[in-house]
Amino acid sequence: MDDNHEQTPLLGANGNGAAQHSTFHGLFFDKKHTPGMDSENRIVRSLANTLNVTKVTLFSNYVNVLLVFVPIGIIAGLSDWNATTVFILNFFAIVPLAAVLSFATEEISMKLGQTMGGLLNATFGNAVELIVSIVALKNGEIRIVQSSMLGSVLSNILLVLGCCFFAGGIRNSSAGFSGGIEQDFNPTVASTMCSLMTMASASLIIPATAANEHQLYSAMKPDSSTEQSVLTLSRGTSIILLVLYIMYLVFQLRTHASLFDAEAQADEDEAEVPVMGPWAAATVLIVTTIVVAICAEYLVDSIDSMVQSAHISKTFIGLILLPIVGNAAEHVTAVVVAVKDKMDLALGVAIGSSMQIALLVTPFLVILGWIIGQPMSLRFETFETVVFFVSILVVTYVIQDGKSNYLEGAMLLGLYIIIALAFLVYPDSVAKDIPTVVARSVMSLVGY
């Protein structure tokens, strides 16, 4: 009996320890349930549900470990730390916030089907770029806005799509999927998207060419109003692009929805189940968007000092660095589905996002600049316009046959790296000086 009495407290202690461990694990690590969610007390139930949504969100992606940079970046901005430090901290803070936006969007769109879900994912996938660009536009940083828009398109059609083709090609060749040779996707959808992207590139080439002609003429005839003419052309073009995008949505979702229906790719056995309700996901979207706006404010405010101290151009920051931040979550999503041999989905994320930037976000920013009195136009520098057109041309040739392989992915990645190197060594001052130099040369030739 004494032995039994001596053992009972120990057993009880172990039982209590196991219960405490179970409660602790349920509170902080169980993603499916949190103690108190079934409580009859409304306050306890609300707190438990809030904690559960927080856990689900934090554990949704490994990159969320970088969320630690969010409060540090905000404190750095409030405390006026070194500009380079503020830029780097908020740069890394926005990466996981973009992933959280993507996760919450996927939760909302899970019951909408892959066409509507893909559209919603692409829309909110560009939320980071849109927020950063609106902040920069409000501050008069037109070059940052323009280079960020162009960089987002190039990042999606070259970097993201290139990684999809490369990773999907390598994985499926080694695993024996798709015949071990090439991956297939819908060539009609790809052709339609590329046609619209070519139209978008034309909308940049025409204002850039017109602006250069005006600058050349105004150098000899100073009474010509170059800027106003370019702004008028850009605003009219932006309205046309917005109308075309609306028509594309009708084409995609109504009249020709069957062409864009990628649900045949989805394996019913792998159907995902939402882990949070639509209202909870919407709350996460709103809160995250507000935090992104705060971090974007400090990020943009630190760019000027960053350019002076780090000796890199604003164009490189906007064209290469900022799109990497905004596209991080989309990049991972597209590569994952490409590895699973769901190339229509990967193509929809990569090129669909680029189309939204080119046909919706950029024209919207031109109109917004018109409303708030900022001279935002579609007049990109000549070098940028040429790079954009060449990139669209290469992508069109690569995807026109409806098949992809790792070599084509390597080609797209190689082109993106070449462009990144070009803009790294291409200072902002060159673009400003070229029209003046050309004008002076022509004037000297004609005797002015």
What's the per-residue H, E or C state across the chain? CHHHHHHHHHHHHHHHHHHHHHHHHHHHCCCCCCCCCCCCCHHHHHHHHHHHHHHHHHCCCHHHHHHHHHHHHHHHHHCCCCHHHHHHHHHHHHHHHHHHHHHHHHHHHCCCHHHHHHHHHHHHHCHHHHHHHHHHHHCCCHHHHHHHHHHHHHHHHHHHHHHHHHHHHHHHHHHCHHHHCCEECCHHHHHHHHHHHHHHHHHHHHHHHHHHHHHHHHHHCCCCCHHHHHHHHHHHHHHHHHHHHHHHHHHHHHHCHHHHCCHHHCCHHHCCCCCCCHHHHHHHHHHHHHHHHHHHHHHHHCHHHHHHHHCCCHHHHHHHHHHHHHCHHHHHHHHHHHHCCCHHHHHHHHHHHHHHHHHHHHHHHHHHHHHHCCCCCCCCCHHHHHHHHHHHHHHHHHHCCCEECHHHHHHHHHHHHHHHHHHHCCCHHHHHHHHHHHHHHHHHHHCC
Report pLDDT for 111. 63
pLDDT at residue number 418: 94
Given a contact cutoff of 8 angstroms between Cβ atoms, the answer to whether 148 and 379 are in contact is no
pTM: 0.75
- The answer to whether the CB of 96 falls within 8 A of the CB of 80 is no
The pLDDT of residue 447: 45
> What's the CA gap between 447 and 227, in Å, rounded?
26
pLDDT at 1: 47
CA 345, CA 352: separation in Å to the nearest integer? 10
Q: Give the model confidence (pLDDT) of 176-231 as tens digits.
A: 554 556 788 877 777 888 888 888 888 888 887 776 666 555 544 444 467 788 88
Whether the Cβ atoms of residue 343 and residue 185 lie closer than 8 Å to each other = yes
Which residues of the chain, if any, have pLDDT below 70?
Answer: 1-42, 44-46, 48-49, 110-125, 172-181, 211-225, 260-274, 329, 427-448
Q: Whole-angstrom Cα distance, residue 394 to residue 383?
A: 17
By CB neighbour count within 10 A (0-12 exposed, 13-18 middle, 19+ buried), where does 380 fall?
buried
Kindly give, in sequence order, each residue whose CB lies less than 8 Å from that of residue 285, ignoring residues fewer than 6 positions away. 101, 104, 105, 108, 124
pLDDT in tens, 346-358: 887 788 888 888 8
Report the alpha-carbon distance of residue 318 to residue 437 in Å, rounded: 26
Q: How far apart are CA 121 and CA 107, in angstroms?
A: 10
User: What is the pLDDT at residue 439?
Assistant: 39
Confidence at residue 329, expressed as pLDDT on a 0 to 100 scale: 66
Q: Give the pLDDT confidence score for residue 367 in this predicted structure.
A: 94
pLDDT at residue number 363:
92
CA distance 144 to 313: 10
Question: pLDDT digits over 199-209, tens only?
Answer: 888 888 888 77
Q: What is the pLDDT of residue 181?
A: 64
Question: Alpha-carbon distance 234 to 142, whole Å?
Answer: 14
In this prediction, residue 267 carries a pLDDT of: 44
**Mean pLDDT across the chain, nearest whole number?**
75
